[in-house]
Structure 1
């Protein structure tokens, strides 16, 4: 479902609206201006980050699709992004393998935030992390959601995690919503 919403997979039935406009079926040129506004944080940060690139290079890749980012501005914004996810600016010049799984996921979150999106899909973003690191990343996601007024879709098999960050929860099976209920953010 998350990939379909972001036009990364076909929609079998139904439609996807963004700002009231149907976005499924748009061509690549028509989707290009929407891509920065719709981002995704994948389950496995090790597979999401290019191991041959520094953190700064991984973040800058996302920035260069946005107009107005030259080398200097890219460096400044990358440092800001790391600060937003509770990492230090000196981490910009290290490689992904030099970080723990939780830190790598924070870098992936920073990369998703680079384009100042309106909507982010978090696809099992905490499942590969141990419990104490999960809690830190969940708190970070909830804080960023509030601070940046983001709309987020959290995908997880762990309802206890969802109860911490979601306003509404839908339980799905075989592509269908089986149960849903409003949930207050704790």
Structure 2
């Protein structure tokens, strides 16, 4: 768990160094500001397994525990409160998702498993997997074995959304 702003540097640079020395290490970034977009600049070789929470959201025990677990498991978790305040940019691939696919993608970006997404949306895990396959197809995420497709999808959500006006 790292604060983005450190007295002698920044948590992202420290996290990159730590990940390169311990590739399976999960990183949870905390910040007092909305800085989720900083995850977009991570070098590809260390981009998986990073999570981000605002310090406000990190005071919720369930949210914090979920983010720590997701990072430890190599998944990416984005702050749910901040995700509630964004919408797809017009013309983006994310804007072409169905409403249900977008809901699945937001929950995926919050670090939920397929079972957790199914429970939250009251659909079967098979339906969740079908929606995820549709998301990957719409976003052009292929089966590149060097990249985690869930992380790639979460990062695309970050890239292609902006504040709700």
TM-score (norm 1): 0.29
Structure with a larger share of its residues in helix: 2
TM-score (norm 2): 0.31
